[in-house]
Amino acid sequence: MNRLQNIDTYLLDLDGTFYLGSKLFPWSLPFVETMRRLNKRFIFVTNNSSQNPKYYLEKIRRMGVDITGDQVFTSGQATIYYLKKHNYPRQLYLVGTPALEEEFQEAGFILTDKDPQTVVLGFDLTLTYEKLRKACDLIRAGVPFIATHPDFNCPTPEGPIPDCGAMIALITASTGVKPKIIGKPYPEMIEALRAKYGLENPQTIAMVGDRLYTDMAMAKAAGIVGLLVLSGETQREDLAHSEVQPDLVLENLGDIVEALS
């Protein structure tokens, strides 16, 4: 736990780590207060591309936590960074929510089903069969396939619901094509984070999250400190069967507060 003293930047997952659904965990406000008291930076990093940063900013503020828009980073933003860096054409067929569509349009992309140059799949809560059919037709025709993140399920207070990874599996089963995936745990997510926030020394950065195959896998890939919390998806018994192991296992964010106090 002494390693936490050297962490300057905490990358925080949201669902299962900071809140669950619309309910803020009781240890989250003390965590924020501790970060501010010790002048440490915290950035919310989520794979959930069904919403844009403005949504998360407003949601977290409604929960009583005053943050800025610059403290939220999504797999949607990372995907936009990747597409721009690699000079992808601006004409896209986007399978996503209106919030994700707005984010891509504000970034200068043209959303169309008429000769798009790329298919981009997000966590689409407005998914229809027609969207799937069109995406599969384009992918079979050779249009590049990009997905925002690989999560199979999204946690909710009522239980898990199918996430982007499950939608990827459906499209891949139909077309035989696997997408380029951008979000946690893939290096493109870290690259985008480093570019935006100037993250340099990996020993002073921690990824805090509740998932082994995204949060902790990204920490390992990036060489940063991986802090697994047991307040969400992963249970302690899951560690015995996982190739990915965190640097520390914590009950919740309150353990960080206690260690730093």
Q: What structural domains and CATH numbers belong to the chain?
A: 2-47+184-260 (3.40.50.1000), 88-181 (3.40.50.1000)
Give residue 36's pLDDT.
96
Residue 48 phi/psi, 5-degree rounding, is -70, 105
Compute the distance between CA of residue 252 and CA of residue 207 in angstroms, rounded to an integer.
13
3-state secondary structure the chain: CHHHHHCCEEEECCECCCEECCEECCCHHHHHHHHHHCCCEEEEEECCCCCCHHHHHHHHHHCCCCCCHHHEEEHHHHHHHHHHHCCCCCEEEEECCHHHHHHHHHCCCEECCCCCCEEEECCCCCCCHHHHHHHHHHHHCCCCEEECCCCCEECCCCCCEECHHHHHHHHHHHHCCCCEECCCCCHHHHHHHHHHHCCCCHHHEEEEECCHHHHHHHHHHHCCEEEEECCCCCCHHHHHHCCCCCCEEECCHHHHHHHHC
Give residue 188's pLDDT.
93
Instruction: Work out the number of other CB atoms within 10 angstroms of the CB of residue 202.
Output: 14
Give residue 226's pLDDT.
96
Mean pLDDT of 78-95: 98
The token pair that represents 42 in the structure block = 């915290």
Mean pLDDT of 236-261: 95
Give residue 159's pLDDT.
83
Instruction: Please state whether beta strands 153-154 and 205-209 pair in parallel, antiparallel, or not at all (unpaired).
Output: unpaired
Give residue 67's pLDDT.
95
Band (82; pLDDT cuts 50, 70, 90): very high
Compute the distance between CA of residue 246 and CA of residue 163 in angstroms, rounded to an integer.
24
pLDDT digits (tens, 9 = 90+) for 142-188: 999 999 999 998 877 788 899 999 999 999 999 999 999 999 999 89
pLDDT digits (tens, 9 = 90+) for 1-58: 778 889 999 999 998 899 988 899 999 999 999 999 999 999 999 999 999 999 999 9
pLDDT digits (tens, 9 = 90+) for 185-230: 998 998 999 899 999 898 899 999 999 999 999 999 989 999 999 9
Mean pLDDT of 83-102: 97
pTM of the model: 0.90
Compute the distance between CA of residue 36 and CA of residue 28 in angstroms, rounded to an integer.
13
Encoded amino acid at 171, one letter: I
pLDDT digits (tens, 9 = 90+) for 107-150: 999 999 999 999 999 999 999 999 999 999 999 999 999 999 99
